[in-house]
Amino acid sequence: MPCVTCGRILAYHTEKQVLYCPVCLDLPAADPKAVKELASEIREDYLNDEQLMGILQEYGNIRVIAEFTKELNEGAAGMVTENNMSFRQFFNALPILKAVYEHSNKFDHQLKPGTGDEQEEIAERVEGILNAGTVLIPVLEQTKEDFAVPIHLSPLAPSSWQDFYANYSFPHSEYWWCSERCLRANVGAREEIREEFIQKEVIFRSFDRPESQDFDAVREWADHWYGFIVSIGFASALDTTVDEAFTTQFPDSVSIFDLEALLDDVNDVVEDVVTSREGGDFRATGIPAHEFDEVGEGVFGDDWPAVRSSVLVSESNPDAHPLFFELSGTKPIQFSGGRPAREVPIDRVVYPDQFSQLVKFQLFPFLENGELEKSTAVLGPLTAKRGVEFERNVYEYLRDTPAVSDVFHSCKTSKQNGNEMDVVFRHDGTTYFVEVKFLLPTLNMQSKSGIEKVNEKYDKKIFKETNDATGKPFPEKVTSYRNLETDAEVSHQVSTDNDDREQMQVPREWLDGEYEMLVVSNFVPAYLEKCEVRFLTDLELFQWLDKDEDVFYDVLQPRC
């Protein structure tokens, strides 16, 4: 929804929660192309940053890798125990860790005896790198992807990434705000909305699913774990940097049950070590490489070498899927009696157990599953099944909300003609006609192209703007209801049984009272309004009606 006057991308004002055009408001908007080129250069240099290279030079790659895998594990633990994932640890740490492997041949592979103070120093410096990356990487990526609208603060050319921040401000754009709304509705990811997110999950997304976890069919497994698959898959594919770190081509024969067996068997190997640790100790566990290979061969047989290269990140293969991490090098052993020290080889596999168990859900869509159903073949039907339940859940929430009245589900005119209305309700003297959608996430939703794909989905599903679209555009259906005769009858669905319907005379308020058109979904497009249709996530619907929050965002118009 670029500016209708000048065509520039709109910026988002965080405090006022409005979109605005910096050009039309006479703000010193920077040349987008020039700033994008500069951001690309700085982004390329960042993973070679002197902070990262310095810690590798000083301590060697083995201890640095161990610290980064601990960060991954701690980030995953928050999701498992508190339903609150740390993006900084879970996602931002991985591209940096892979950069360590890519550069590891330049640094010491010897594990020298260290003190607790030294390990604490490593932890603090890794934390500093992650904190810088949490600020730096998103701003650079957002600038490249039109998720930020750079505004000049200084005419000087930046000579470093610190100057880059000093010379520009980076208000978020309309594309970022779309991604942020979807992120809040599907992952939570913000501490301030955590309780509302959990309530929303219970109200709208408590779907029927197989309860047993002993599955032998891919569809049943995916049905049970659908929420994890979608939320973690969505979050890991938000931007291209993280997406590339989480993307691997597995051998066609590998199934999700094979990978579960591998993880379960590795768990058995490390169980005593993991259970002996105190709470809050998120260090990843190391196992000898030969034991890891014995486990892998027991699960995959002759296919193990090909699978191993897909699941073990190493110096020779930094692009493997991040389930396991190789540690190789030497460790000095001191002998008594004045005998000279000897270098003993280190050949271990690091297993960040909590992180890897979550990555299992993220990688599911990449699997062909051998002779079983392909992962991609089951997600579409499972999403459609949830779409039916989601629509009913939206209706039942509205029906049971005191601020709402006259709620009807699946309304149909006597002649039908494609005029089914998912939900109709009254609130504050206004009739709301509602279309309900439940969609699979679009990849790369921290890119302009990813957001535009979401827009295209809604252009097709709501406004029927493609040649292969079926049915009437949503605004046209609403017009048909508004034009009904006063004595016309409509039917609505009473229970979860599709055939349990009642006839009623069309309410007078539907015909000549104040009305609005809403689309309620798990994902929203970038445009706030189109053809007088407004778009809300299920979280925003809850925040509006239960918390009395203003969720109808507007575009600030310049004064004439």
Residue 243 confidence (pLDDT) = 61
Q: How confident is the model at residue 121 (pLDDT cuts 50, 70, 90)?
A: confident
Residue 507 confidence (pLDDT) = 94
- What confidence tens digit (pLDDT) does each residue in 285-299 have? 999 999 999 999 999
Q: How confident is the model at residue 134 (pLDDT cuts 50, 70, 90)?
A: low
**Distance, CA of 400 to CA of 540 (rounded, Å):** 17
Q: Where are the alpha helices (DSSP H) in 348-374?
A: 353-363
**Distance, CA of 354 to CA of 471 (rounded, Å):** 46
Question: Has residue 517 got a pLDDT over 80?
Answer: yes
Q: Where are the alpha helices (DSSP H) in 374-515?
A: 375-399, 448-461, 474-482, 508-512
- Terminal C-alpha separation, the chain: 21
**Distance, CA of 528 to CA of 483 (rounded, Å):** 26
Q: How confident is the model at residue 433 (pLDDT cuts 50, 70, 90)?
A: very high
Question: Has residue 162 got a pLDDT over 90?
Answer: no
Question: Most distant CA pair in the chain: distance in Å?
Answer: 105
Question: Has residue 366 got a pLDDT over 70?
Answer: yes
Residue 306 confidence (pLDDT) = 95
Q: How confident is the model at residue 20 (pLDDT cuts 50, 70, 90)?
A: very high
Q: Per the structure block, which two tokens stand in for 161?
A: 């990434």
Considering the chain, what percentage of its residues have pLDDT values greater than 70? 83
**Distance, CA of 372 to CA of 258 (rounded, Å):** 12
Q: Which has the higher per-residue pLDDT, 457 or 245?
A: 457
**Distance, CA of 542 to CA of 197 (rounded, Å):** 9
Average pLDDT, the chain: 85
- Section 115-132 average pLDDT: 73
The backbone region for 385, taken as left when phi is positive above 0, alpha when psi lies in -120 to 50, beta otherwise, is: alpha
Do residues 196 and 547 lie in contact, with contact meaning Cβ atoms separated by under 8 Å?
Answer: yes
- What confidence tens digit (pLDDT) does each residue in 301-343 have? 999 999 999 999 998 888 899 999 998 877 767 666 666 767 7
- Section 230-238 average pLDDT: 78
Q: Which has the higher per-residue pLDDT, 54 or 401?
A: 401
Q: How many CA atoms lie within 13 A of 309 on its CB side?
A: 7
Do residues 187 and 181 lie in contact, with contact meaning Cβ atoms separated by under 8 Å?
Answer: no
